[in-house]
Amino acid sequence: MGPQPRSRPPLWQASVPLIIGVFGAGLVAFSLILPTTPTLSAPVAAKATITAPAPAEVSKQAPPSPLPEPPPPPQEPIDCSKVPCVALTFDDGPSPNSAGLLDQLRALGVKATFFNTGQNVVNHPDQVKRQVDDGHVVAGHSWNHTDMRKQKPGKACDDAARTAEAIRNASGVETILVRPPYGGWNQTVLSACQGMTFILWNVDTLDWSTHDAAKITDHALNDSKPGSIILMHDTVPETVDALPGVVAGLRDLGYALVTVPELWTSPITPGQAIYSGPHP
């Protein structure tokens, strides 16, 4: 018996390797495409989902925090020729205490008068702007707290004018009111500072000396009379602590708390040195 002739494989068998080969190549090609397609589209999709919500997030976050509180509503005008009034005044600012002091005054519904030094105005213009925006009166307290009597009158008045200019630049408000540092003035200086009026005080809370909220309150309540101008300091933290008691006590005594110009029924004219308002 000779060797069995090798039978030819049927056609379908012969084409199996071809089919497998084609199929395999297709698989390889498919598998090459498959991973690339998602990885290509994935970053695009990811990018889209990162960039799309971003503007929405920004517009959602922007409004709540930076919006300042609206200024307090204007108060009824007080006629100090008919009701007893006193004026709280704060010197030497603006200072790091200013925001807390202004918050207190706002919460208490009190309008005060701020005598700012020029050098502090240029360092804290935003606080001067807020003094005005909150309805307070702003005035000058020399450029750098120099005793005006110890300067040449022309120099003292130049400094006062520079301070008024800095206040105008910071707040848009013009002022003719000046509080001489240490209450130090004389007729020569006043005459030299044409167009200005000096505002002194007749109640000194001594906050600058005692730094004691209870003593500050005692002076404010015991020493005030109708028309009093009460001296306090923006720079003394205990003054901020004393403020609620001072305000409540003065109101209990029947006083309306006003700004310095409100003590008068007509505008303050230049060329005066004033320690208190009129007594009704």
Show which residues are catalytic. Answer: 91, 233
Residue with tokens 């006083």: 255
* Residue 91 is a binding residue for Zn ion (CB under 5 A): yes
* Residue 262 is a binding residue for Zn ion (CB under 5 A): no
Whole-number Å distance between alpha carbons of 216 and 197: 27
Helix, coil or strand: residue 85: strand
When CB distances to Zn ion are compared, the closest residue is 91
Q: Indicate the residue among 85 and 138 with the shorter CB distance to Zn ion.
A: 138
* Residue 159 is a binding residue for Zn ion (CB under 5 A): no
Residue 15: both structure tokens together: 């084409």
Q: Indicate the residue among 142 and 224 with the shorter CB distance to Zn ion.
A: 142
Q: Indicate the residue among 226 and 238 with the shorter CB distance to Zn ion.
A: 238
Q: Are 101 and 239 in contact (CB under 8 A)?
A: yes
Q: Indicate the residue among 85 and 131 with the shorter CB distance to Zn ion.
A: 131
In order of 43, 148, 218, 276, the CA distances from 49 in angstroms are 10, 67, 65, 68
Q: Applying CB under 5 A, which part among 53-61, 73-81, 91-99, 238-246 lies near Zn ion? A: 91-99
Helix, coil or strand: residue 79: coil
Q: Are 153 and 137 in contact (CB under 8 A)?
A: no
Residues in the chain: 280
Residues 166-185 that bind Zn ion (CB under 5 A): 181
* Residue 92 is a binding residue for Zn ion (CB under 5 A): yes
* Residue 207 is a binding residue for Zn ion (CB under 5 A): no
By CB under 5 A, name the binding residues for Zn ion: 91-92, 181
